[in-house]
Every structure is written in C-alpha cells, then in structure tokens.
Amino acid sequence: MQQREEKQLEFALENIIQRVNDLKSSIASMIMKVENEYETLNWPNFLDNYALISGQLTALSKVLSHDKCPVLRNLTVLPLMLSPERDEQLAQITEGRVTTFAHDLVPDYLRTKLEPMAESKMLQVENKAANLTYENAQKQVAAYQKVVLHVWDIVSKAREEWEVESSSRGNTQQNSSVADTHLLVAAVGMGKGLKMGASPNGGNPTSGGMMVAPQNRPGGAGGSVPIPSNTQSVPMNKAPSTIKTNIKSAAQIHPYGR
C-alpha cells in the first residue's frame, strides 16, 4: 500500500513539474516580449500569450484536482541537511536561483502558510466580506454589472465602426469610367458625337457677316470688304461682327476725271 502511494506521488509530482515548467517558459517568453518587443508587439499577440498561460493554469489545476493525485497539503517537506556552502546540484535544479540551503532560507522556501503580512490582509478581506449584508452585496453587484454593460456597449460600438471602416476600405468606390474615357478621346481627337450649335443671331454658324482683313486695290484705295452671306467660311468660336464699311469707287474720288 505504501509503495503504491509513493508511486502515485512520484507520478503526480512529475506531471506537476512538467506543467509548472511549461507555465514558467510561457511567462518568461511573455515577459521577454513585453520588455524587448514592446514597439512591435500588438494586442492580438499579447492576448494569444495570455490565453496560452490561462490554458496552462487550467491544465495544472486539473492535475492537482485529479482523483489519482494525492492531497499535497497533507504532506510535509522536511530539510535533510542545512549548509551555508554552495550546493551545485541545488543550483542546477533551481536554474541558479538558489545556490545554498541555509537556515535563513528554509523558512521562506518550505513555508506552509502565508507570510504574516499577507495573512493579515487576507483576514481583513474575509472579515469585510462576512460582515457585508445581502442588500449591499446586491447593490454592488448591480453597479458592477452596469459598469460592465456600459463598457461592453462602448466596445461593441467601436467594433462596428471598425468593421464598417474595414469593409469600406476593401470595396473602394470607382470614380472613373473606361467607356466615358474612350468617348471623350474620340470626341477630342476625331470629333465623334459633336453637334453644331446655333449662332447668336439665329443663323447658321458657318455663314453670316464674317470680316476679312483689308486688301490693297488699284488706285491706292482700300478697306474692308464684306463677305456675302452665301460665301462659305471657316467656323470660328467668335460672334460675327455687325460693322459694315462703305466703299466708294476709285473713279469717283479721283481729282482728274476723264
């Protein structure tokens, strides 16, 4: 019977040590990231590390509460040898944290109760909880739930805004049309789709009283000559001029008539 209990204790201690080592490595990795990678560390990665630690704590609790695991609180650890000299095996087991197993360290490492200061604080909290009435406890629970719901509403609203913003970034609105671009290029380059507009005086914009530059005529007289309305001219974007000039024959104004 005693050998069976010793085997169960040894097996349980191995499982506990393995779980504790995994938990210790996860905590050390998280501390290293917080101290050294704080500039690139984001919130999802931090939550992943925290979830890993929480899962390992849950696994350790299951091992401690298993039926085959002996109740460790009923066991007592006694020092077999106390020495102020350095113990290499102890240093290797504790990864260099504890190098000597002296008289001043034994009460701290083999303590089965809380420290006096921590124990007094725990007693104060327990007394305060025991003296709290049911009505006050319900009021505090209701106030706490109200605060939690308010924070939940804020987080939910921020999440909805973030999702809307992310979806709008993914579906960027189109601000150009390829077909319209081709039509514009065809209209500018080849005049496709353009229509002739009406002139200001109600006539054909390609005809009317367009003026030409003065030209020299025999006899020294010259002036502007109106172009007949039936004469074709190059369309221009300017309004036709309404000024007309009276041109006299050179024979009438010559001083020496024949």
> Residue 90, class by beta-carbon neighbours within 10 Å (0-12 exposed, 13-18 middle, 19+ buried)?
middle
Which residues are registered as beta bridge partners of 222?
216
Q: pLDDT-derived band of residue 252, with 50, 70 and 90 as boundaries?
A: low
Residue 200: φ, ψ to 5°: -65, -35
Q: Assign domain 1-75 one CATH number from 3.40.50.1100, 1.20.58.1710, 1.10.3330.10, 1.10.10.10.
A: 1.20.58.1710
Whether pTM exceeds 0.75: no
Residues 150-176: tens digit of each pLDDT = 999 999 999 988 888 877 765 555 667
**Statement: residue 210 has pLDDT above 50:** no
CA distance 34 to 41: 7
Domain boundaries, the chain: 1-75, 77-112, 115-160
CA distance 152 to 158: 10
Q: Which pLDDT score, from 0 to 100, does residue 150 have?
A: 95
